[in-house]
Amino acid sequence: MTVIDRGDKDVDVILRYASGSKKITLIEAYTPREAGSGVAFDTDDTGQKTVTINGNPGTLLFHKNGTARLTWTDKWVTYNLTGALAEEELVRIAGSLATDNRGQ
């Protein structure tokens, strides 16, 4: 686990999990309400799908090499979950995460 503290509420957490050949990385980043974000990717090698995580819209990118990245924001936290897992498994893991009440 890596914790990046930039002061006040600005704390990012990076968690890396491994079990046999399965590896996933979860990044939790504090996101001020006025912040924006975007992602660029090669459409020849990457597919995109919109999913819902605990009532919040998310973007699932799945790559030809078998890896996927799921990104969504819940309250004040933006999550990035990556790994060589099936779409259903990434969405299930994402749905099991709870956010705190930061900023409320």
Domain range annotation of the chain: 2-95
**Which two structure tokens, joined as six digits, stand for 7?**
């002061």
Does 69 have pLDDT greater than 90? yes
Q: List, in sequence order, every residue forming a beta bridge with 47; answer none if it has no partner.
A: 62
Does 70 have pLDDT greater than 50? yes
pTM score, whole prediction: 0.78
pLDDT in tens, 15-60: 888 888 888 899 888 877 666 666 667 778 888 999 999 999 999 9
Are 62 and 44 spatial neighbours (Cβ–Cβ below 8 Å)? no
Q: pLDDT at position 5, please?
A: 54
User: In the chain, what percentage of residues exceed pLDDT 90?
Assistant: 33
Q: pLDDT at position 76, please?
A: 79
**Which two structure tokens, joined as six digits, stand for 25?**
């990385």
